[in-house]
Chain A
């Protein structure tokens, strides 16, 4: 296995995905298989190659500093699971 079950648990927490106990083995296997497959990249010598993030290598456009958005709270919050007094509600956050 390229990736261990504990590592799967760690990245699943980073990605905030609950992995069911009975699925962890199969998932670890699948992920290992995928990583084994992508590992063939590692054989290539890329020491002098510059990474490519965007295929066109264009530059960022700039937006003028003007306020173009009006208050749309009611429209935007119409699809929210839980709101009160204009706030989005989540389980208590402990600092």
Chain B
């Protein structure tokens, strides 16, 4: 039951093979069993989950079932959930119980989903290994000596380990796609602005985007249907109409042109991953797609530009954590500056502090033009690369990550090495494009991730292409054996 797709679970609920309460209890049992090892959850909302499942069963009984009625999910711990701890995996917010609900989690509630708890992550979504959590690292269910990726590592590991049917994540530079690849699940980063950011604790506002993490493109389509749409409370949310994602999953790929950005297939790529990708390309050819090489010449500049823009925005976004209105406050501050400086030094972890300092530096007098403005110009060049490429092809196909899940601690001493983990996911984030990560192979028992990149608001096409691939392959059906 724990590794069934959402459509299978919905079917089971409709056919009364099992109730939402039974399903919820099953996941809760697995969480009890495996969370101590994997550390996927910061908060397990056992009582509320069972209560929500009871309500869902009743609603189904009365024929008032929502799109996700009774489906147990987990939310990344940066979506504010009214009455439930929302910590952002930070000491700073380790006591923060929001008096309001984020738009994303509210939409899940309205669709009838059951919230099992809040998942672990890199603090304030800053990290690519989930080692930057105040609540300890998450372990990869495929190999618990390895990282699950980050920052949505708890969500990815929970889905992969069958501790929930699906989960929410957020992606700023790859935080949905990279952990999805490392954990062998399917994750979608939608177009910037497709999903409301209201109630989602901000890392970098012009990049942050929520998205679904699940077992298949088909499940992601259903989840996106629930999550997507304009929110008048978020100025950056798009007013574009929402497509019927699930209904669009049957389209043939004949006539589709898929581009291979040559800069992504370089010597830095792990050969096993390269091999798996060649297989995937063949599968797409056999599905009727035409393959074409394209160039995204500014790719190598994306990580440097990102590590100026994202920290700059973060340095301002995280200024509100000052120990005055919510969150942690240091003990007996001597004066105002002492209150600020100690609260923030004690509340934020090392990586968050590094990024705040970098962000402060690149915006400060004398450096603004050389760093911040230059990075924004490079952001334009990177976007233009994609605009150019999408003039020739419908989708881009490339790796999600340069390697597979790495051992815990192996990169945490070297920030730049860690940053380069996101070389294949950051360009799309800067351009604001949608991208889907899905499993396409394994190397030494570790999942390999394929990445499909679509043009703006073409999530439907992206999900269909992912779904067509998953009809032909079974990588997405593999799951780890838990110890």
**In the complex, is A directly touching B at CB under 8 Å?**
yes
A residues bordering B, Cβ < 8 Å? 3, 7-8, 11-20, 27, 30-31, 33-35, 37-42, 44, 46, 49-56, 58, 60-61, 63, 72, 75-76, 78-82, 88, 90-93
Q: Are B315 and A79 in contact (CB under 8 A)?
A: no
A51 and B377 in contact (CB under 8 A), knowing A17-B348, A91-B339? yes
Cβ of B128 within 8 Å of any chain A Cβ, yes or no, is no
Q: Are A30 and B336 in contact (CB under 8 A)?
A: no
A88 is contacted by which of B325, B340, B360, B364 (Cβ under 8 Å)? B325
Number of interface residues of B (CB under 8 A): 74
> How distant is the Cα of A79 from the Cα of B98 in the complex, in angstroms?
8
B235 is contacted by which of A31, A61, A88 (Cβ under 8 Å)? A61
Number of A-B contacts (CB under 8 A): 174
Q: Are A56 and B432 in contact (CB under 8 A)?
A: yes
Cβ of B1 within 8 Å of any chain A Cβ, yes or no, is no
CB-CB contacts of B371-397 with A at 8 A, as 1s and 0s?
101111111110100000000000000
Sampled A-B contacts (29; CB under 8 Å): A7-B361, A11-B364, A17-B348, A17-B356, A17-B357, A20-B345, A27-B353, A31-B358, A31-B361, A34-B307, A37-B304, A37-B416, A44-B301, A51-B373, A52-B379, A52-B380, A52-B383, A54-B192, A54-B432, A55-B192, A56-B191, A56-B193, A58-B238, A61-B235, A79-B326, A81-B324, A81-B326, A81-B328, A88-B325
Q: Please give me the 4 A-B residue pairs with the lowest Cβ-Cβ distance, nearest first.
A: A55-B432, A51-B376, A16-B340, A46-B377
> How distant is the Cα of A84 from the Cα of B429 in the complex, in angstroms?
44
Measured between beta carbons, the chain A residues less than 8 angstroms from B192 are: 54-56
Smallest Cβ-Cβ distance to A7: which chain B residue:
B361
A52 and B377 in contact (CB under 8 A), knowing A19-B345, A38-B371? yes
- In addition to A49-B377, A52-B377, 4 A-B residue pairs with Cβ atoms within 8 Å of each other are A18-B344, A38-B305, A56-B193, A81-B323
B329 is contacted by which of A15, A18, A82 (Cβ under 8 Å)? A82
Smallest Cβ-Cβ distance to B301: which chain A residue:
A41
Cβ of B265 within 8 Å of any chain A Cβ, yes or no, is no
